[in-house]
Amino acid sequence: MSRHSLSRTDTIIFMGGITALSAVSVDIVLPTTGVVARYFGVEPKLGALLVGVYFIAYTIGQLFWGLFSDAFGRRLSLILSLSGFAVASLACALAPSFTFLIVARFIQGLMGGAPIIARAMVRDVAEGSDAARLMTVLGAILTIATMFAPVIGSGLLVLFTWRAIFVGLTVLALSFIAYTVFALQETGGQRRPERFSFRFLTYAAKYLLANRRFLTPMLACSFSFGGYASLGAVGALVAETRYNVSPEAFGALFALAAMVNTGGALLAGQLLKRRTLRQVGTVAITLLTLGVFTNFIMIFINPSLQMLWGSVCLYILAFGMIYPTTYASAMEPASEMPGFAASVVGAFSMITGSIAALIASSLFDGTHLAINLTMAVFGAAAVLSVIIGRYKRPN
């Protein structure tokens, strides 16, 4: 990685930061949902809209930012995206009503294009194992950031009010803008405004979705993320209802899972120094197969908390390896449209994760079954997509 413009330590940290921006902006508000609802005098369940509307807007917005960055360059796209994010964050902090807050939060999600632009920048300067190694570093930074985000949110809530959380997001976005303006090099090459068109969008979509080298890792990435999303959807409910783990104690369990996820990403990065991307992908998918089998077994027994969390952590360890490596693999055939390709992978992953979270929530019956069944099904779908994609002969 020493050959490309993203090899400086400060730039890699910056890239990890903008990759984690949207995830942090979701996790940092988790402790505030009930507080905000009470502040504005609305039903407690409506506080969840702070998370829901952001996810919807982010899924829509990243398709725009990927295409825009391919046409007009990464630095300009980052500056515009982060500026919009900062303005929307400040609007959230100053919101006079709940409706205003939700609208501002939606706009904040639309402006959350930084993670997609960051992944496109990786493909601009690196490919193959080199790109995958950088992706694993960004993935590790993302996981660490999301692990601490709820803690920071709780701390700001204790010291100040819920508005301080959005002020903090504003300051974070402004710091990223400053780095982009003064220190970040352009990686996207020449501007190609003709690509910001419906004609190119149609061409790019047809090219990518008909290309097995893109489609197979995208499906593996998205389905494996679906299993991971079930942890966020019902993990705390399962721990509290089935195993009498308090919400405060669940934070420690979640932190353990986050550390395992980070370990998976870093393990993949180390293996990529000595093995090809395909070989490391094989190790990761083999580990995921073991995780799927373990979670499937959990469905038919009455596991202890240690057994349950062991099966969850095994899946997450595999996911930590699979997510960055499949993302990098999907970007390989997209050298002419890395921004759009990154946005397609991101959007499909978000949609799949949302579906998996809804399924896990609907399956929850007070036992452990929902989380194990969702991980087993979506993990199996990821494994099958790789097997079919690698070994099916072309027509």
Q: What confidence tens digit (pLDDT) does each residue in 8-32 have?
A: 888 889 999 999 998 899 888 877 8
Burial grade of 319 (CB within 10 A; 0-12, 13-18, 19 or more): buried
Confidence at residue 392, expressed as pLDDT on a 0 to 100 scale: 63
> Could you tell me where the DSSP H helices lie in 126-162?
128-159
pLDDT of residue 395 exceeding 80? no
Which tokens go with 113? 């294009």
362-376 tens-digit pLDDT: 888 888 999 999 999
pLDDT digits (tens, 9 = 90+) for 136-177: 988 888 888 888 888 888 888 888 999 999 999 999 999 999
The pLDDT assigned to 2 comes to: 43
The rounded distance, in Å, linking the Cα atoms of 89 and 73 is 24
98-109: average pLDDT: 95
CA-based angle 242:247:248, to the nearest 5?
Answer: 135
Distance CA 321, CA 324 (A): 6
Question: What pLDDT sits at residue 394?
Answer: 47
Residue percentage of the chain with pLDDT more than 70: 97
Q: What is the pLDDT of residue 260?
A: 93
**Which residue reads 């996810």 in tokens?**
55
Reply yes or no on whether the pLDDT at 41 is more than 80.
yes
Domains 6-196 and 208-395 share a fold: yes
Q: How many CB atoms lie within 10 A of CB 297?
A: 14
6-196, what's its fold? Answer: Growth Hormone; Chain: A; (1.20.1250)
Longest dimension (CA), the chain: 63
Query: Pick from 393, 215, 242, 392: which is nearest to 312 by CA?
Result: 242
Domain boundaries, the chain: 6-196, 208-395
Average pLDDT over residues 90-112: 95
Q: Tell me the pLDDT tens digit for each residue of 311-333.
A: 999 999 999 999 999 998 999 88
- Count the Cβ atoms, other than its own, within 10 Å of residue 315: 32
Q: How far apart are CA 305 and CA 288, in angstroms?
A: 21
| DSSP conformation class of 43 | -
| Cβ 294 vs Cβ 314: under 8 Å | yes
With cut-offs at 50, 70 and 90, classify the pLDDT of residue 258: confident
208-395: which CATH topology? Growth Hormone; Chain: A; (1.20.1250)
Task: Tell me the pLDDT tens digit for each residue of 226-251.
Answer: 999 888 778 878 888 889 887 667 77
Q: Are 236 and 250 in contact (CB under 8 A)?
A: yes
Mean pLDDT, all residues of the chain = 89
User: How buried is residue 266: exposed, middle or buried, by Cβ count under 10 Å (0-12/13-18/19+)?
Assistant: middle
Query: Residue 136 burial (CB < 10 Å; 0-12/13-18/19+)?
Result: buried
The pLDDT assigned to 366 comes to 85
